[in-house]
Structure 1
Amino acid sequence: MNVQFHIDYQTYYGQDLVLNIITGQHNGAHEASQYRMRTADGCHWEVEVKKDAKPGTQVDYFYSIFRGDNEERREWGVMNHRLEFNAERSLNYRVYDHWSDLPEDAYLYTSALADCIVGKKLTKARLNNYNKAVTLKVRAPQLGAADELYLSGAEPALGAWNVKKALKMVQHSINEWSFTLDAAKLSGSQLEIKFFIKNRDNEAAPVWEYSNNRMLELPGMEEGDAIVYELDEAFFPVPAIRVAGTLVPVFSLRSESSFGIGDFGDLKKMVDWVSQTGQRALQILPINDTTITHTWTDSYPYSCISVFALHPQYADLTALPELKDRKQREKFEALRKELNALPQIDYERVNDAKTEYLRLLFAQEGEKVLGSSAFKEFFAETESWLVPYAQYCNMRDKFGTADFSRWADHKQWDESDRKALSNPKDAAYKEVAFFYYVQFVLSSQLKAVHEYAQAHRVILKGDIPIGVNRYGCDVWTEPRYFNLNGQAGAPPDDFSVNGQNWGFPTYNWDEMIKDGCQWWVNRFQNMAKYFDAYRIDHVLGFFRIWEIPISSVHGLLGQFAPALGMSREEIEGYGLHWQEELFTEPFITDWVLDRIFREHADEVRQKYVEHVWGDRYRMRPEYDTQRKVEKVFAGKNSETDVWIRDGLYALISDVLFVRDHKDPNRFHPRISVQFDFIYESLYDSDKAVFNKLYNDYFYRRNNQFWYQEAMKKLPKLVNATRMLVCAEDLGMVPDCVAWVMNELRILSLEIQSMPKDPHVRFGHLSENPYRSVSTISTHDMATLRQWWDEDWARAQDYFNSMLHRGGPAPHPLPGWLARDIVSRHLTSPSLLCILGIQDWMSIDEDLRLADPNAERINIPANPKHYWRYRMHVGIEDLMKNKAFNEQVTDLISQAGR
């Protein structure tokens, strides 16, 4: 049959429109047959394709703009056009499309809302035997689970505006509905139509689309013709979807069957509680493998060794076959009960025990599992990353270190090893097979949780860390993607006055962009197997990352990378006389030493610094970096030693400008230097000049540059899956972040105590954008109860100005007041309101922990924090707590979520 495609799109000289008919997928990307279209006026494009299509089949396709052989632009990648061949006979099709850009309501097409919240199933249109046919397609994403779309019109064949005779449409693609008319029954060439929603579960009046009647002029048709019209999206005056949910790390879950730590079985139970209380979202922290040292320092979930592999600690042992050895069963059951009774996680004992158990089970069941068709299918899907990961784990344990620079003959992944490691008959395969088995178990269990959550109409929301461990498998496998001479972190903020140094390598974005950010695309598509929404950790890192020299411990000597550094001439152009040594070397004088070290100042003069001239000093070479100082003071924990060590750190970072990491003739104003001695030493006039330069640099100079950097990366990632995209956009946020997030329809994170408007102390919940996630606290922050008591003056201000209550604020935070705060967050306009489990429990004084400080998950200022918070209440008991659950349900219902 012949298919003519028509589309109106205004192009410029040298541009061509190309039709891409999808034929398959490879590495997550569409494989397509391309057809150059023709035009007479640069606006109306068409192409004819000969297609051998059987009745009941369909094709998906999209349009793109080419200049020569280079693709300049393509349509929204998540939702493609769909053409169904629903005629019993061969017809000649004429398709009239329109260009599909990312819509304002893109969130309604995500798997989070379309598959989980709404959960509508697609239907194939029935075959027809019309000699002439007109198919109308329209996207209508606002329909609920029980809603059906109807077509009505002036024509008798369309019901003559009688709703009882209207035509019921078929949802043949995500949020897209179609109906095929018998053109022979149409009385004229003009159609006047309109769509309406009817709910099959009630007798409510139909809801008509919010527009004038649609007018269509049909072209001349002959026998054997089929016309397909893709119409503009239908909009209905219905309330926007708003969802409530809970945030809890998987490791924090507790149940009667846990092994001292939350697991994927517990996650399924948590879905039950979320669903029971009327919530529709469950958010977790990263669950990737972080095993570097096999000690508690691996508990940091944002320092993964693989962006694909899951952490073995989350295996639900109760879902696996029993150990046949009775003594072993009894030993592990006794240990399980002991570890499960602990108030906090004993990371090392839990992981040692689970690993031992899994190895025994692998010896018992491994051969059968690895020979199964399910495993072979899993291996075929994941082999690209699974094989290097298993070899990495094997080498890490064999050599006793994750520092692969110390692995003899294995300092980098060797692709030639893949064949032996993939052959079950090879000795190399047998060495790593245990790691294949564990990842298969974990993936199977998490997929089961995902399916369970979808069946209960609960959005499972994951978390994508911005960094990877510098000694991890990803760096070992593909070092070209990483810069190992820098450390990723964050500039100073409310969490840490010295900035945060995460120790991760920064990304070599130039190298990543060369292959279309395939590493990131693969990562996101792997996540989509398990989740329907995700949080991009530190989304600012896609604009610019805070890059700290490898010689630094703190983050103050970092600089944004990439960023437009300043030349000497530019700095002087502001009116600041350039003095390179004064501005770029640590500012050390007698009065500075006395102020920092007081009675220890002379000791510092004699041992750690050397005199230069006048009252000026410089660091001695053996102490001139923070890493050198850290090494000297390793293991010295007395109050005096810590005082001197931290003072030396402060001396080293006391500079006005940081030299650019790549271009020594460019400079960056040092972050937060206004609190340091070099700034204090400036004349007032120079301070004013520097402040103007500082504000221009951090808030204006790089805006357009960073916007362009983000748009090289984020569109590819947002369009890689149908997951709902949410971003953690906190910190030192330049204006361009909002530009990009609005353009890509990414949900922002809104925290009332950390408003994005610098002119207010607390955000106004009523002003939250709809495309946002509202929350009270994150895993990096104090919980609501901690926050309330750590600064009484701030709490008093909030009590009076935000809660509009008089008198003194009560302390500690009473349950009734916590309930009021939770209620106000739930009534905000935000699409998602997701609260930490601790903040939910704060409303019930009988349920919550007696000590609010025991609720804290992380302290960002402490890079060695032990992540071990665990719910003090088991999920089974939580499910039975009728009084608390009714409170949660009532709050959600009253908020209209």
Structure 2
Amino acid sequence: MKINFNIDYKTQWGETLYICGNDSLLGSGNIDAALKMHVDGVGLWTATVDISDKNVRNLEYGYVVRNDNGSERREWGGCCHSIDLSNAAESYDIYDAWRDIPLDKPYYSSAFTQCINRRNDRCEAVVPAPGFLTLSVDAPTVGPDEVLALCGACDSLGEWNPEKALPMSDAGYPVWKINIDLSRTILPIEFKFIVLDKDTRALKAWDGGDNRRLASMTKNRHVSMVVSGMRFRDPRALWRGAGVAIPVFSVRTRDDFGVGDFYSLTKMVDWAVATGQKFLQILPINDTTMTHTWTDSYPYNACTSFGLHPMYMHLQELGRLKDKARQAYFDDLACELNNLPTVDYERVNEGKLQFISEIFAQEGAKTLNSSDFTKFLIDNEYWLKPYAAFCVLRDKFGTPEFGKWGEYAEYTQAKADRVYAENTPQMNQVYYTQYHLDRQMRRVHEYASAHGVAFKGDIPIGISRDSADAWINPRLFNLDCQAGAPPDDFSVLGQNWGLPTYNWEEMWKDRFAWWKSRFCKMAEYFDAYRIDHVLGFFRIWQIPMTAVHGLLGIFNPALPYSADELKSLYDFWIDADVHTKPFIMDWFLNDFFGEYTDEARERFLNGLGHGRYELKSGFDTQRKIADYFSSQDKTEKNRRMCEALLGLADQVLFIEDPDRKGKYHPRISAQYTYVYRQLNDYEKWCFNRLYNDFFYHRHNDYWYGKAMWKLPNLIDATPMLTCAEDLGMIPACVPAVMDQLRILSLEIQRMPKDPSAKFGNTWNYPYLSVCTTSTHDMGGIRQWWEDNPQMAQEFYNEVLHQEGSAPRVAEPWICDQILNLNLKSPSMLAILPLQDWLSVSPDLRRPDPFEEQINEPSNPRHYWRYRMHLNVEDLLGAETFNRDLADRVHNSGR
């Protein structure tokens, strides 16, 4: 059986095309053994293989361009072509097209193929056959109530009559195929694809652009011809949808245990369907159990990137205890906790874990002996066993800090086996818990998919330094520093998350295997995801362990200046003694300490002469300062002293690179320091030039390369729709990367990306974006309105175009207008917090908007406990509101 490959591809000088596939003649997936193609001198590349002695029945392959300089370029999706050889023609003539990332890439995601455009009853697969021409076309925008058909200029193709068009097979959706009998077709011929109603066959759309043309081909009843790589040009308006964002723990139903659980999401799916919404977005759901206290409530500090949080277990699904008194106790506890206005994290988790322990003792053996459990264990053992060992050791030693675990401080597989052997019941209980969590989340995900609602998850940028991930793979992380964010609207001191940064060079050695496994695990539960702080894939804000404030961070990777560069490029002469150490002068001490200045000078400072001071050795880092005052009485005086000393430690103009001595980073927001004030006007002008160049220009190409080195490998690992949180200090290279990879941006009207604008212009949002009114890191519309009366007034006049004074509170009609601006924007997705959806209803909105904020990012020890103030069942019963909301969504074109 011969296969003749043909592809029309224009290469540059020094480039050669290769084919890599799952057959040994195509390299068996090894790119170094790929088959070299030949060119006719114009641009048609060809190659022939004979696999008549093979048992290959489905050939998968892809094209690769190699340059003489050693670089390579591959198609989107790798081995993205396939051909079914089960009909065993004497030969196959294949005419392909190179597959680049399509402009409509989001429609190829599982959010569309498995949810929004989900096709439950598919046609039989089309298999290339001798004497037939197989046409293949990508058409992901064809809805589940539609079919794609072929219509053309000959009798067999309907003579351009849509009623006689040939329906195509959607078996491989979003790829559609059809076999054309060459004995009944005269070539060349013109044709188009059309969209028909699935039931009535009424015409809904013609293929855009010029007519397509099939050239003359040699007809042979022993030869199968395949033309693939075409893409349907849908002329209709771009799809836009709406969605709701709510953390799982915040969902309230009548049968909860004081916190939302996975099964609670099914009712949120029902509400989304009732209101015409297509997306349900949640916060991270991985296990965060570290101390068994409320400090574990922070969902972005997980102890595993793979395991799910036991808090989200729907206990009723596990069964009921035979001990009626104990079951009654848990029933009463559930009722008590569920009546609380917020989540009592400690009592909820203590109660759930105790019930799981007791039901495991009663029913666990049955589960552990089941075939489903065995399969789950085999599929997940690579992360599950180490994670379970981590949980056992965490509780045994009373701390997640694995450095304090003695002989277990360093992970090995043998040690994990020993933990299992010595703690089998405890390890099995962790397995049991994760098995049921996985089972429940999968069921809820399938429920949502079947109802046309896509689940959107959240991938935190960091991992905890006290996590199973760090214990198992410490080489992948920089555990000697902290990740955070530069100053922004959330925090003028910057954010210090306390999380380690990634050792990307080490991760590259196995081609980012840990990241790919993390993404693939997430794809089992989600159809779309939000990359938390996507800027971290370009560069991370890295803070030394000795610092508390984010102001003392630097970009990593970065291109810091040498002293010679500063002099030659900017005429700035750096004095390391003055500019890189805390600049403390007598003349401004009173600004920091006020009435405590004399005492502070005596207790914390050493005089250096000429009115200059240094911090004493016991207080010469922010960490030492914070640790000292954490052990002191919590008085107002001590609070002010601590904040003042931390502020003095920030008084530097440059930060020396920790790994490259003699290289310097300008300190972020340095213009607000006293050391900047003491520069003369010319020095300030020179510093401002180097500062602006460093933060806004110097790294653009450098960070572009770093992002393109990482992101394509990761986002192509799964079919999920990729969205990103691209807020903050955005380098110019970020939009270019996101556009190239078709990643949806995040647009928030009160956080415009144009630094010269007060508010974002919703009408100018890019199509490939998610717009929203608020995030979990900020108050909702109503809180913002009351918190910022001056901004509310400007918004009222300039955006809503209302005259006069703005109302003191954001009344329902104001919220309604703000929601409509987002719904009518060009953004592909408008995913709004539930709190803001309810803000338009005087009956359903929460009385106090200040009770609706989920997180305060300026507080690293914030207690995450927000819950809905009404049950989802009651929300589903608000039929008038739901109908109005569905109409609003529909009328906006979503």
- 1:552–1:128 distance in 2 versus 1, CA, 3 Å: closer
CA contact (8 A) 2:479 2:500 kept: yes
Tell me the distance in 2 between the aligned counterparts of 1:172 and 1:191: 26
CA contact (8 A) 1:35 1:47 kept: no
- 1:568–1:54 distance in 2 versus 1, CA, 3 Å: closer
SS at match of 1:629: helix
**Superposition map of 1:670-709 within 5 A:** 670-709=667-706
Unaligned regions of 5+ residues in structure 2, if any?
A: none
CA contact (8 A) 1:140 1:177 kept: yes
Deviations 1:376-414 (A, max 9, x none): 111111110101000000000011111111102101211
CA contact (8 A) 2:20 2:79 kept: no
Q: Is 1:47 the equivalent of 2:44?
A: no
Q: Is 1:4 the equivalent of 2:1?
A: no
Tell me the distance in 2 between the aligned counterparts of 1:491 and 1:686: 24
Displacement of 1:22: 4.0
Q: Is 1:744 the equivalent of 2:741?
A: yes
Tell me the distance in 1 between the aligned counterparts of 2:884 and 2:29: 48
Tell me the distance in 2 between the aligned counterparts of 1:482 and 1:8: 45
Tell me the distance in 2 between the aligned counterparts of 1:71 and 1:156: 49
Tell me the distance in 2 between the aligned counterparts of 1:406 and 1:871: 40
Q: Name the residue aligned to 1:413.
A: 411
Tell me the distance in 2 between the aligned counterparts of 1:39 and 1:122: 42
Tell me the distance in 1 between the aligned counterparts of 2:335 and 2:732: 52
If the length of structure 2 is used for normalisation, what is the TM-score? 0.96
Give 1:363's aligned amino acid: A
Q: Name the residue aligned to 1:880.
A: 877
CA contact (8 A) 2:541 2:553 kept: yes
CA contact (8 A) 1:512 1:518 kept: yes
- 1:53–1:207 distance in 2 versus 1, CA, 3 Å: farther
Q: Name the residue aligned to 1:235.
A: 233
CA contact (8 A) 1:3 1:48 kept: yes
- 1:319–1:517 distance in 2 versus 1, CA, 3 Å: same
- 1:179–1:598 distance in 2 versus 1, CA, 3 Å: same
Q: Name the residue aligned to 2:275.
A: 277
Q: Name the residue aligned to 1:851.
A: 848
CA contact (8 A) 1:130 1:182 kept: no
CA contact (8 A) 2:126 2:179 kept: no
Q: Indicate which of 168, 191, 194 corresponds to 1:193.
A: 191
Deviations 1:542-597 (A, max 9, x none): 00000000001111110000000011112123122222211111110111211111
Displacement of 1:887: 2.8
SS at match of 2:48: strand
Of 479-488 and 194-203, the range deviating more from structure 2: 194-203
**Superposition map of 1:404-553 within 5 A:** 404-417=402-415, 426-553=421-548
CA contact (8 A) 2:38 2:47 kept: no
Q: Name the residue aligned to 2:892.
A: 895
Q: Is 1:608 the equivalent of 2:604?
A: yes
**Superposition map of 1:829-844 within 5 A:** 829-844=826-841
- 1:32–1:21 distance in 2 versus 1, CA, 3 Å: farther
Q: Indicate which of 620, 632, 635 corresponds to 2:616.
A: 620
CA contact (8 A) 1:420 1:429 kept: no
Q: Name the residue aligned to 1:656.
A: 653
Of 734-743 and 817-826, the range deviating more from structure 2: 817-826
Tell me the distance in 1 between the aligned counterparts of 2:875 and 2:29: 45
- 1:63–1:799 distance in 2 versus 1, CA, 3 Å: same
Q: Name the residue aligned to 2:242.
A: 244
Tell me the distance in 1 between the aligned counterparts of 2:483 and 2:160: 63
Tell me the distance in 1 between the aligned counterparts of 2:55 and 2:169: 17
Q: Name the residue aligned to 1:63.
A: 63
Deviations 1:221-247 (A, max 9, x none): 333011111153121211211111100
Q: Name the residue aligned to 2:205.
A: 207
Q: Name the residue aligned to 1:74.
A: 74
Q: Indicate which of 593, 615, 625 corresponds to 1:597.
A: 593
Displacement of 1:52: 5.8
Tell me the distance in 1 between the aligned counterparts of 2:612 and 2:506: 44
Tell me the distance in 2 between the aligned counterparts of 1:9 and 1:554: 54
Q: What number of residue pairs does the alignment pair up?
A: 888
Displacement of 1:132: 1.4
CA contact (8 A) 1:78 1:721 kept: no
Q: Name the residue aligned to 2:625.
A: 629
If the length of structure 1 is used for normalisation, what is the TM-score? 0.96
CA contact (8 A) 1:6 1:97 kept: yes
Of 203-212 and 780-789, the range deviating more from structure 2: 203-212
Tell me the distance in 2 between the aligned counterparts of 1:311 and 1:206: 46
Tell me the distance in 2 between the aligned counterparts of 1:268 and 1:220: 56
Displacement of 1:114: 2.1
CA contact (8 A) 1:78 1:719 kept: no
Q: Name the residue aligned to 2:808.
A: 811
Q: Indicate which of 774, 777, 786 corresponds to 1:777.
A: 774
Displacement of 1:316: 0.5
Displacement of 1:255: 0.7
Of 399-408 and 206-215, the range deviating more from structure 2: 206-215
SS at match of 1:245: strand
Give 2:685's aligned amino acid: A
- 1:39–1:31 distance in 2 versus 1, CA, 3 Å: closer
- 1:317–1:525 distance in 2 versus 1, CA, 3 Å: same
Deviations 1:244-290 (A, max 9, x none): 11000000011111001110011111111111111111000000011
Give 1:308's aligned amino acid: F
Q: Name the residue aligned to 1:386.
A: 384
Tell me the distance in 1 between the aligned counterparts of 2:537 and 2:119: 34
Give 2:618's aligned amino acid: E
Tell me the distance in 2 between the aligned counterparts of 1:128 and 1:499: 59
Q: Name the residue aligned to 2:359.
A: 361
Deviations 1:513-553 (A, max 9, x none): 12111111110011100000000000000000000000011
- 1:740–1:480 distance in 2 versus 1, CA, 3 Å: same
Give 2:578's aligned amino acid: L
Tell me the distance in 1 between the aligned counterparts of 2:432 and 2:699: 48
- 1:297–1:130 distance in 2 versus 1, CA, 3 Å: closer
Tell me the distance in 2 between the aligned counterparts of 1:73 and 1:272: 45
SS at match of 1:484: strand
Q: Name the residue aligned to 1:145.
A: 144
SS at match of 1:409: helix
- 1:16–1:420 distance in 2 versus 1, CA, 3 Å: farther
Displacement of 1:57: 5.5
CA contact (8 A) 1:122 1:173 kept: no
- 1:35–1:617 distance in 2 versus 1, CA, 3 Å: closer
Give 1:75's aligned amino acid: E
Displacement of 1:131: 4.8
Tell me the distance in 2 between the aligned counterparts of 1:604 and 1:730: 39
- 1:884–1:32 distance in 2 versus 1, CA, 3 Å: farther
Tell me the distance in 1 between the aligned counterparts of 2:562 and 2:85: 63
- 1:121–1:50 distance in 2 versus 1, CA, 3 Å: farther
Across the aligned residues of Structure 1 and Structure 2, the Cα RMSD in angstroms comes to 2.2
Give 2:735's aligned amino acid: A
CA contact (8 A) 1:114 1:175 kept: yes
Tell me the distance in 2 between the aligned counterparts of 1:406 and 1:421: 16
Displacement of 1:73: 2.3
- 1:127–1:264 distance in 2 versus 1, CA, 3 Å: closer
SS at match of 1:633: helix
Q: Name the residue aligned to 1:308.
A: 306
Give 1:460's aligned amino acid: F
